[in-house]
């Protein structure tokens, strides 16, 4: 005669083992998402974040795109930032000081195999919250850093020096501002040069720049924010031809995803506009483009969406956290 209690025990342990197995596989998947490829050249660029300033999930968001993320955050959804490492000279730099700055600089430290917790320099594009607010972690309440170089344009320099709490970072020598000028190259190491380029954007408190980043053999264009390509004095297609990789503003896929804001107050080139503009480029040029700076509503954040599939099939790239490019 079969013992009912034994059957119950068997079923209990079977279900328990299944739950544990699922948990383990989820943990492994999470770990895989955080794996960073090892560098293979003198200078490497690593994507530290791809999301618009306010992050994902977005504060007060009631949409389906945020619903699950409040309880189950996606570790790959960090605010837009690039890391740059000169392995030969043991130097590292970060582009943008975001609200995710602590985890991003830790990732950069591990990737660079450096003993230093903080980068050798920070490059800012402009004074919108997702691009400079991470500087707060360098202050007395956090690391109390000492003279971390912060590369800024003239208006951004004045903004930091004349407005608290940022001015306290300057007075306390937590940061040391390194002035830059439009289109004037900055030499960081024997292997890295960076050139700021002015772009039109909502410049309430500072000018806005993109960057051309030069390694020993390749160049990267980084423009996370711009109003419209047509407003820029430069021809974006021609600039793309001059570089090897281009990380470009892709805040919104189209206007339909924003139905709670006046889109004219937050101008960006829609991805569908950019792809139409770049449609005549040869495939080799399209493949240089890595769209980045995604609003929480942007459907390309879902790799199963039609928008994502259309973008990839058209020859473009969707920037992904931890992606490494050799320069």
> Is residue 2 in a domain?
no
For the stretch 139-158, pLDDT in tens is 999 999 999 999 999 999 99
For the stretch 301-324, pLDDT in tens is 999 999 999 999 999 999 999 999
State yes or no: pLDDT of 123 exceeds 80.
Answer: yes
E strands, the chain, are 43-49, 81-86, 91-95, 121-123, 148-152, 175-179, 186-187, 193-198, 209-214, 219-223, 245-249, 289-292, 317-318, 324-326
Q: How many separate domains does the chain show?
A: 1
Cβ partners under 8 Å of residue 306, min gap 6: 299
For residue 203, the SS3 value is coil
> Is residue 166 in a domain?
yes
Q: What are 242's two structure tokens?
A: 């001059």
> Is residue 99 in a domain?
yes
For the stretch 260-279, pLDDT in tens is 666 666 678 999 999 999 99
**Number of CB atoms found within 10 A of residue 21's CB:** 10
**Number of CB atoms found within 10 A of residue 259's CB:** 9
- Taking the C-alpha atoms of residue 291 and residue 177, their distance in angstroms, rounded to an integer, is 29
pLDDT (0 to 100) of residue 262: 65
How far is Cα of residue 154 from the mean position of the Cα atoms in its chain?
23
State yes or no: pLDDT of 207 exceeds 60.
Answer: yes
pLDDT (0 to 100) of residue 139: 98
State yes or no: pLDDT of 27 exceeds 70.
Answer: no
pLDDT (0 to 100) of residue 206: 97
For residue 268, the SS3 value is coil
Confidence of residue 62 (pLDDT cuts 50, 70, 90): confident
Range of lowest pLDDT (13-17, 181-185, 242-246, 284-288): 13-17
Domain CATH code at residue 134: 3.60.15.10
Q: What are 22's two structure tokens?
A: 């699922």
> Is residue 8 in a domain?
no
pLDDT (0 to 100) of residue 9: 47
pLDDT (0 to 100) of residue 258: 73
> Is residue 23 in a domain?
no
State yes or no: pLDDT of 128 exceeds 50.
Answer: yes
> Is residue 80 in a domain?
yes
pLDDT (0 to 100) of residue 255: 76
> Is residue 18 in a domain?
no
Q: What are 46's two structure tokens?
A: 């690593």
Q: What's the alpha-carbon Rg for the chain, to the nearest Å?
A: 22
Domain range spanning residue 254? 39-326
Q: How does DSSP assign 161-198, residue by residue?
A: HHSTTHHHHHHTTSEEEEE--TT--EE-SSS-EEEEEE
- Taking the C-alpha atoms of residue 53 and residue 145, their distance in angstroms, rounded to an integer, is 24
């Amino acid at each position: 005669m079969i013992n009912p209690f034994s059957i119950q025990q068997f079923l209990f342990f079977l279900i328990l083992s299944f739950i544990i197995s699922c948990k383990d596989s989820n943990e492994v998947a999470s770990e895989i998402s955080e794996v960073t490829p090892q560098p293979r050249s003198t200078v490497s660029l690593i994507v530290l974040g791809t999301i618009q300033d306010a992050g994902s999930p977005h504060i007060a968001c009631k949409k389906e795109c945020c619903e699950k993320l409040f309880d189950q955050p996606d570790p790959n959804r960090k605010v837009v930032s690039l890391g740059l490492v000169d392995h030969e000279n043991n130097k590292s730099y970060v582009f943008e000081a975001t609200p995710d700055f602590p985890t991003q600089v830790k990732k950069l430290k591990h990737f660079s195999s450096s003993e230093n917790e903080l980068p050798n320099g920070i490059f800012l594009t402009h004074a919108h919250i997702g691009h400079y607010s991470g500087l707060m972690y360098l202050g007395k309440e956090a690391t109390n850093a000492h003279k971390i170089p912060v590369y800024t344009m003239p208006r951004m320099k004045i903004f930091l020096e004349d407005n608290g709490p940022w001015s306290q970072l300057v007075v306390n020598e937590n940061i040391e501002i390194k002035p830059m000028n439009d289109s004037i190259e900055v030499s960081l190491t024997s292997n890295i040069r960076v050139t700021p380029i002015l772009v039109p954007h909502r410049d309430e408190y500072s000018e806005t720049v993109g960057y051309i980043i030069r390694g020993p053999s390749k160049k990267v264009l980084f423009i996370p924010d711009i109003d419209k390509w047509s407003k820029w004095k430069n021809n974006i297609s021609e600039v793309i031809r001059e570089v090897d990789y281009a990380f470009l503003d892709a805040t919104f896929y189209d206007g339909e995803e924003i139905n709670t804001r006046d889109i004219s107050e937050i101008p960006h080139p829609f991805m569908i506009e950019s792809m139409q503009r770049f449609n005549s480029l040869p495939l080799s040029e399209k493949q240089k483009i890595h769209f980045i700076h995604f609003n929480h509503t942007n459907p390309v954040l879902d790799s199963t969406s039609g928008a994502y599939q259309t973008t990839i099939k058209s020859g473009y790239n969707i920037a992904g956290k931890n992606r490494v490019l050799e320069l």
